[in-house]
């Protein structure tokens, strides 16, 4: 197959592109490294030149926080929606969208709502579509994984509200396997929550990361959500991941039933070490 991968230089996109090449598919990378600025890709006409001879498209573009030149409305909604419409016009039947767990009717942040808006556009088109909604994705090369590992390695680990928030981390290899499965599955037009086999508290997640680094259990410090939110209002200008919206999404929880995903993969996803 000839597959367009939007966001092919990012954490998820690069892994998807590598797996496609390993399976002897041809990859058409669409990212800044290859001269594609998503801020300028807001109409189907902008995407059409990249779809010549393409059999399928995978959208891996995503940001966790806005910064100069990067806006949710453009990168999560407008550019992907234009790509999906271009695929319908060009006869590219199979399209896979990497969305996010929580991008549904209960989503309340711009991150979630813009992801959902693009998902809904894709679902409305006469395509063989898949919307994959991963939970917290971890693995080598992931910026969030590196950040959580640094946090877990601290002598005293600060935990918002004691770290009781629920997460269900999924390994990048399982998300990539889901993408490849979606490109060939007979039954399309499906929304699948991509989660690990075990839901756990955020505190337990950090403890697992600490143990995997060979460190003994560390001390923790419970920090009130109100205090962390106040600090985040300032810190978000330096590190977008610390935006108060991301804290709110963490408080909301990020879990789902693993069984539908396991059935789709044909196996249970990888357990957190």
Residue range 199-222: mean pLDDT, rounded: 92
- Residue 26 is predicted with a pLDDT of 98
User: What confidence category does residue 85 fall into, taking pLDDT thresholds of 50, 70 and 90?
Assistant: very high
- Residue 180 is predicted with a pLDDT of 98
- Residue 237 is predicted with a pLDDT of 61
Report how far apart, in Å, the C-alpha atoms of 3 and of each of 6, 52, 163, 175, 211 are.
10, 11, 40, 17, 39
The neighbour count for residue 271, using CB atoms within 10 Å, is 11
Which CATH entry fits the domain spanning 2-137+170-197+254-265: 1.10.3210.10, 2.40.128.50, 3.30.565.10, 3.40.50.720? 3.40.50.720
User: What confidence category does residue 228 fall into, taking pLDDT thresholds of 50, 70 and 90?
Assistant: confident
Mean pLDDT computed over every residue of the chain = 93
Higher pLDDT, 116 or 244: 116
**pLDDT tens digits along 12-68:** 999 999 999 999 999 999 999 999 999 999 999 999 999 999 999 999 999 988 888
Residue 179's closest CA among 271, 261, 79? 261
- Residue 251 is predicted with a pLDDT of 87
């Amino acid at each position: 197959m000839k597959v367009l991968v939007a966001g092919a230089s990012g954490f998820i996109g690069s892994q998807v592109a590598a797996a496609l090449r390993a399976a002897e598919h041809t990859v058409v990378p669409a990212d800044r490294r290859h001269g594609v600025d998503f801020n300028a890709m807001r109409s189907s006409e902008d995407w059409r030149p990249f779809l010549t001879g393409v059999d399928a498209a995978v959208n891996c573009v995503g940001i966790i926080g806005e910064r100069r030149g990067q806006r949710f409305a453009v990168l999560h909604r407008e550019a992907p929606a234009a790509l999906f419409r271009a695929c319908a016009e060009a006869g590219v039947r199979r399209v896979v969208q990497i969305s996010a767990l929580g991008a549904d009717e209960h989503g309340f942040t711009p991150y979630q709502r813009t992801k959902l808006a693009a998902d809904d556009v894709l679902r409305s088109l006469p395509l063989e579509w898949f919307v994959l909604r991963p939970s917290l994705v971890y693995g080598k090369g992931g910026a969030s994984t590196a950040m959580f590992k640094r946090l877990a390695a601290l002598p005293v680990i600060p935990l918002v509200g004691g770290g009781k928030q629920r997460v269900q981390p999924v390994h990048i290899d399982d998300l990539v396997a889901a993408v490849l499965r979606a490109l060939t599955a007979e039954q399309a037009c499906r929304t699948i929550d991509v989660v690990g086999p075990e839901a756990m508290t955020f505190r337990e997640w950090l403890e697992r990361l600490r143990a995997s680094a060979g460190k003994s259990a560390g001390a923790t410090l419970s920090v009130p959500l109100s205090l962390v939110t106040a600090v985040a209002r300032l810190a978000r200008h330096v590190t977008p991941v610390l935006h108060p919206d991301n804290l709110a999404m963490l408080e909301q929880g990020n879990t789902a039933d693993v069984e539908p995903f396991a059935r789709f993969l044909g196996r249970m996803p990888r357990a957190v070490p």
